[in-house]
Amino acid sequence: MSYVDQVIEEVIAKNPAEPEFHQAVREVLESLRVVVEANEEQFKKDALLERLVNPERQFKFRVPWVDDNGQVHVNTGYRVQFNSAIGPYKGGLRLHPSVNLGIIKFLGFEQIFKNSLTGLPIGGGKGGSDFDPKGKSDREIMAFCQSFMTELCKYIGADTDVPAGDIGTGAREIGYMFGQYKRIRGLYEGVLTGKGLSYGGSLARTEATGYGLLYLTDEMLKCNGKSLEGATVAVSGAGNVAIYATEKAQQLGAKVVTCSDSTGWIYDKDGIDVALLKEVKEVKRARLTEYAAARPSAEYHEGKGVWSIPCDVALPCATQNELDLEDAKTLVANGCFAVAEGANMPTTMEATEYLQENNVLFAPGKAANAGGVATSALEMSQNSERLSWTFEEVDGKLKNIMVNIFHNLDDAAKRYGMEGNYVAGANIAGFEKVVDAMNAQGIV
Ligand code: NDP
Ligand code: 2IT
């Protein structure tokens, strides 16, 4: 049995009931086969892949909090510190009822390679809780965030582990968590990113994941003789990533005709009204039915369906495994020529393979959505030097980072004879730097 197959088998046997983690490991290791085979003896002797797929450490803790009626609830909190070869652990905190250890491990594992691709000194980590922020009052959100941070604060720090936002964690939650960290630890430091501008946040961090997705997509299209100008774009999600992906796609001359949330989706033939979407989702925290009610050109449908709308470019920006083989077939049949992942692992492996076989340009999330964490690292730099850069400065650096990431993927794929396979390119380019740093630091 090959070394790669052996490690995949061990991951499945040692971590049962963690299907998303298995999927993420399989996706990465499958495309590293060529690199591993070229170094098989040494990697095996050093147990390099075993060290890569086992987190350095993981925390699981109780999060008790009191609701507005005096009822106590108990959620589970997680932080997985996956790999610190190239820098302090860095990665978001997901608050969603579906969160479990396997989900956090898949996200933490992806984060190692993503953070490496940014070219910045950040290791991989992820955390979160099965807490559901939906329908909670501000006071309940604060109670949860304070309890969560009361435990988490023991394991993190500006030079140790720097969490940030993800699904369900935005500026409000980061603010409450920052306040509690400062209160308990007595340290005013850049321990979290995605902070508000009045207390150490970076301009352009809110926009960064969505904007970065479009900077990379734009470069990928240009290098393949295509353009966003005049393109019809389907976006899924209606959160932080989806909103700013839509905004930048429109600035680059595309027409975005869809968005979705966990209960339904919108088809807006005139193009999504971003100001209205922000009002509904960021200010009112309401359902997309409110968007449809305020916009005569929009249709609202229950359930799932954005990939049924004909588009040139598809940008999945909601959650994992939201674009399956059937969706991929529909996209290809409708003439879609590019898919770029704003979310983490939104496309199933079968769907990714089908898209690639049908010559659809495919940018994997660990490259395409790296603009968020890259700008988080820029926020860390600003906190360290106690300065704030202008929007233009941060946005300019973000754009350069995304263009460089694309060329790194492209070059890595070409070096291994897989031109145009950006999935392999991302995994190889991300892996090479981590391996170099791990080898230099000995068996740790
Ligand atoms: P938000 O919480 O802001 O938005 C998530 C959106 O996706 C919401 O519209 C939500 O619907 C929808 N959604 C979430 N879970 C599901 C589900 N199980 N089924 C259907 N729809 C769902 O999160 P973000 O925009 O920050 O994150 C979106 C994706 O991007 C995630 O995969 C995240 O890991 C990834 N990402 C985020 C980064 C960031 O900087 N924020 C950086 C890189 C990647 P509803 O409104 O109903 O909750
Ligand atoms: O998935 C991700 O890269 C994020 N949620 C952002 C992490 C960060 O530290 O900014």
At 316-342, the pLDDT tens digits run 999 999 999 999 999 999 999 999 999
Residue 90 labeled ligand binder: yes
* Residues flanking ligand 2, CB < 6 Å: 90-92, 114, 164, 166, 193, 344, 372-373, 376
Residue 137's Cβ-count burial label (10 Å; 0-12, 13-18, 19+) is exposed
411 Cα: distance to centroid of ligand 1 (angstroms)? 30
Whole-number Å distance, alpha carbon 246 to ligand 1 midpoint, is 14
pLDDT, tens digit, for every residue of 234-247? 999 999 999 999 99
Rounded to an integer, what distance in angstroms lies between the CA atom of residue 372 and that of residue 401? 11
Distance CA 441, CA 444 (A): 7
Structure tokens at 222: 């240009």
Q: Whose CA is closest to atom 40 on ligand 1?
A: 372
Closest ligand 2 atom, CA of 110? Answer: 1
* Residue bearing the CA closest to ligand 2, atom 8: 373
Output the residue whose Cα is nearest ligand 2's atom 4. Answer: 92
> Is 116 labelled as part of a ligand binding site?
no
pLDDT at 175: 98
Mean pLDDT, residues 231-236: 98
User: Which of the residues are catalytic?
Assistant: 126
pLDDT (tens digit per residue) in 80-131: 999 999 999 999 999 999 999 999 999 999 999 999 999 999 999 999 999 9
**Residue 211 alpha carbon to ligand 2 centre in Å:** 14
- Of 79, 111, 383, which is best to mutate to test ligand 2, by the most ligand atoms within 8 angstroms of its C-beta? 111
Q: Tokens at residue 328, please? A: 């991929």
345, 106 in Cβ contact below 8 A? Answer: yes
Q: pLDDT of 339-380, one tens digit each? A: 999 999 999 999 999 999 999 999 999 999 999 999 999 999
Check the annotation: does 408 bind a ligand: no
* Model pTM score: 0.98
Q: Could you tell me if 272 and 257 are in contact, meaning their C-beta atoms sit under 8 angstroms apart?
A: yes
- Residue 388 labeled ligand binder: no
Grade residue 444 by pLDDT with cuts at 50, 70 and 90: very high
Instruction: Give the mean model confidence (pLDDT) for residues 141-147.
Output: 99
Beta bridge partners of 95: 129
pLDDT tens sequence across 14-53: 999 999 999 999 999 999 999 999 999 999 999 999 999 9
* 158 CA to centre of ligand 2 in angstroms: 16
pLDDT in tens, 275-303: 999 999 999 999 999 999 999 999 999 99
Atom of ligand 2 nearest to the CA of 90: 9
Sheet holding 264-268, edge to edge: 258-260, 264-268, 298-302
* 209 labelled binding-site residue: yes
Pocket test residue of 95, 129, 240, 259 for ligand 1, highest count of atoms within 8 A of CB: 240
The ligand placed nearest to the CA atom of residue 318 is: 1
Point out the ligand nearest to the CA of residue 241: 1
Quote the CA–CA distance of 331 and 28 in Å, as a whole number: 24
Measured distance CA(444)–CA(440) in Å, rounded = 10
Ligand nearest the Cα atom of residue 317? 1
Q: What is the largest CA-CA distance in the chain?
A: 64
The bound ligand whose nearest atom lies closest to the alpha carbon of 99 is 1
Q: If we measure between CA atoms, which residue out of 339, 346, 342, 336 comes closest to residue 310?
A: 336
Pocket-forming residues, ligand 1, beta carbon under 6 Å: 165-168, 209, 237-242, 261-262, 317-319, 342-344, 369, 372
- Ligand 1 pocket, mutate which of 244, 259, 262 (most atoms under 8 A from CB): 262
Render pLDDT for 183-222 as a digit per residue (tens, 0 to 9). 999 999 999 999 999 999 999 999 999 999 999 999 999 9
Interval between CA 173 and ligand 1 midpoint (Å) = 15
CA of 240 to the centre of ligand 1 (A): 7
Centre of ligand 1 from the C-alpha of residue 249, in Å: 18
pLDDT digits (tens, 9 = 90+) for 87-101: 999 999 999 999 999
Average pLDDT, the chain: 98
Minimum-distance ligand 2 atom for the alpha carbon of 122? 9
What local confidence, expressed as pLDDT, does residue 190 receive? 98
Give, using CA atoms, the residue closest to atom 44 of ligand 1: 343
Please give the order of strands across the beta sheet that includes 313-316: 255-256, 232-236, 313-316, 338-340, 361-363
